[in-house]
Every structure is written in structure tokens, then in C-alpha cells.
């Protein structure tokens, strides 16, 4: 295994723990709408890269519902959606990360089609990784040679992977590319993912992790256990930004200090 060159020696993440997933989704949706809205007041383009998996479905639903309320109303024409990763399937496939976000969020908000920068899971993966790299370069400003997203939403798998950077492919953390192809270790299906250097270059990273099955990984990563250095998620700490972990009570169960927010 190639050792990642991404530093983990940065600002400590802030941890927020909620009794239920519903409460977590509600609070995070409100926070995201408020901070994206503030950015939208002063920037022409606000870049948001979202994860796939099942965890964000509730969050996406909540964002679409809250954004219809006066308090959280947002000018979606400024917000540009990107994805941290995509499975190599067509957009209408049940596994498509774009498909999931489209179903639970994008379909129900008014946003220009050109603001939706999906990864074309149906295209040839290597060529698509290059096309997507060019697309990101066009919209997201560079800082220290890498795109700097305003906000990145991440999940974490039970094996400690995040985006599509899996424990057996740690070299994607230190890659100098913006996008790479990856292989899902169980299904061997190809994926396209942002690399570690792009993820850690973001201004603000939020992990949303829920459920009992992830509680050991959460403890190891957030309490700096030596084994955590074998998990990609451990290394995703912003080099010049903030990060927070939104957890439900079950995912946080083993943490030493876990006062519920």
C-alpha cells in the first residue's frame, strides 16, 4: 500500500451529535442553507460537492423542504452542484449518485440545468475523469494548484472509505490529479472520484455519518487510534478550512465525550 502524502496534521474537526437522524438532517440542512446563502450574497458561483450513498437522502429531502421556507430561502441560481464521486452507471440506475440527489433534492428546487455538474457515469470512466476535471477547472477557483470547493459533503463507509477512496487505494489521497477512477472492492465496479488533495483543499468539509455499524470507525478516526491511518476518511481534513462531523447518537455511541447537541 502506498503511504498517502496528505497531511492529517491540521485543525481539529468539530463534532455535532444528535439523538436521531431526522434531527441531524434538519439541523444540517438549516446550517447548509444558511451558510450557502451567505456565500451566495457575495459570490457569483458557490460550489458544493455532494456525496452519494444512502445517508444523505434524508438531508436532501430536508434541504428541499426547508429551502421553500422564507427563513431559509436561497437563490439556487448561484449554487453549483458537483459530486465527490459517481458509480459508473447511467443516471437512471438505482445506484447512481446523481439519480439519488435528483430524486430527493434537485427535482424539487428551481435551479438552472447548467448549475448541475453531474459525473457522467454512463461514459468511459477514464475519459470521463478527464472531462470532469476540465468541468471543475472551469467553475471552481484554484488555490495552491487545486480546486477549492466552497463546501463538500462526505459520507463514510463501514470500511473507512470516503468519496470513492477505498482503504486498498490510498494512493488516491496523494494523487496530483483532480479526478481518478477507482474500483469498488466488493462489486469490482468502476467509480470516478475526487482525489484526496481536492477534498482536503475545500473551504468547509462536512461528514455526515449515522448508524451503529459505523461506530467503531468513528471512534478510531475521531480519537486518533493508530489503526485510523489505514482509513481514507481519517486523512480528509482541510489544509486551510474547517471540518465538521455530524453524527447521530448510534454512530457516536463509543466516543469518550458524546454530549448530544
Residues that bind ligand 6PG (CB under 6 A): 51-55, 84-85, 87, 97, 155-157, 161-164
* Alpha helices, H only, the chain: 21-42, 56-66, 97-104, 125-139, 171-174, 196-199, 215-222, 249-252
Please identify, using beta-carbon distances, which residue of 157 and 238 lies nearer to ligand 6PG: 157
CA 196 to centroid of chain Cα atoms: 12
Q: What's the rounded Cα separation, in Å, for the pair 101 and 108? A: 10
Which residue, 40 or 161, is less far from ligand 6PG as judged by CB? Answer: 161
Output the smallest distance, CB 164 to ligand 6PG, in A: 6
Strand 151-154 versus strand 46-50 pairing type: parallel
Identify whether the C-beta of residue 212 lies closer than 8 Å to the C-beta of residue 253: yes
What's the per-residue H, E or C state across 179-210?
EEEEECCCCCCEEEEECHHHHCCCCEEEEEEC
Residue with Cβ nearer ligand 6PG (85 or 180) = 85
- Decide whether 65 or 95 has the Cβ nearer to ligand 6PG: 95
Nearer CB in complex with ligand 6PG: 52/238: 52
Question: How many whole angstroms separate alpha carbon 108 and alpha carbon 67?
Answer: 10
Q: Contact 243/207 with Cβ under 8 angstroms?
A: yes
Residue 23: Cβ-neighbour burial (10 angstroms; 0-12, 13-18, 19+): middle
Q: How far is the CB of 74 from ligand 6PG (least distance, A)?
A: 23
Residue 96, SS3 per DSSP: coil
**Cβ 192 vs Cβ 88: under 8 Å:** yes
- In the bound complex, what is the minimum distance in angstroms from residue 41's beta carbon to ligand 6PG? 29
Nearer to ligand 6PG, 161 or 249 (CB): 161
Q: How far is the CB of 83 from ligand 6PG (least distance, A)?
A: 8
Task: List the grid coordinates of 153.
Answer: 459533503
In the chain, count H helices and then E strands: 8, 11
Nearer CB in complex with ligand 6PG: 156/170: 156
Cell numbers at 71, concatenated: 427563513
Amino acid at each position: 500500500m502506498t503511504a498517502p502524502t496528505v497531511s492529517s496534521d491540521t485543525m481539529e474537526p468539530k463534532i455535532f451529535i444528535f439523538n436521531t437522524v431526522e434531527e441531524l438532517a434538519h439541523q444540517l440542512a438549516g446550517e447548509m442553507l444558511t451558510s450557502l446563502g451567505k456565500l451566495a450574497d457575495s459570490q457569483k458561483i458557490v460550489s458544493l460537492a455532494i456525496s452519494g450513498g444512502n445517508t444523505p437522502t434524508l438531508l436532501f429531502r430536508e434541504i428541499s423542504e426547508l429551502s421553500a421556507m422564507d427563513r431559509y430561502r436561497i437563490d439556487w441560481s448561484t449554487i453549483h452542484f458537483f459530486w465527490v464521486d459517481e458509480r459508473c452507471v447511467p443516471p437512471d440506475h438505482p445506484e447512481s449518485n446523481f439519480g439519488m440527489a435528483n430524486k430527493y433534492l434537485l427535482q424539487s428546487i428551481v435551479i438552472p440545468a447548467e448549475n448541475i455538474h453531474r459525473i457522467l457515469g454512463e461514459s468511459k470512466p477514464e475519459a470521463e475523469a478527464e472531462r470532469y476535471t476540465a468541468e471543475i477547472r472551469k467553475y471552481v477557483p484554484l488555490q495552491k494548484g487545486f480546486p477549492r470547493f466552497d463546501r463538500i459533503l462526505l459520507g463514510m463507509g463501514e470500511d473507512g472509505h470516503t468519496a470513492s477512496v477505498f482503504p486498498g487505494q490510498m494512493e488516491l489521497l496523494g494523487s496530483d490529479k483532480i479526478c481518478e477512477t477507482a474500483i469498488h472492492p466488493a462489486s469490482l465496479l468502476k467509480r470516478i472520484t475526487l482525489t484526496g488533495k481536492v477534498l482536503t483543499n475545500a473551504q468547509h468539509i462536512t461528514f455526515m455519518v449515522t448508524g451503529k455499524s459505523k461506530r467503531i470507525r468513528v471512534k478510531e478516526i475521531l480519537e486518533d487510534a493508530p489503526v485510523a491511518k489505514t482509513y481514507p476518511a481519517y486523512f480528509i481534513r482541510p489544509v486551510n478550512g474547517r471540518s465538521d462531523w455530524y453524527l447521530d447518537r448510534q454512530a457516536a455511541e463509543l466516543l469518550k465525550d458524546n454530549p448530544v447537541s
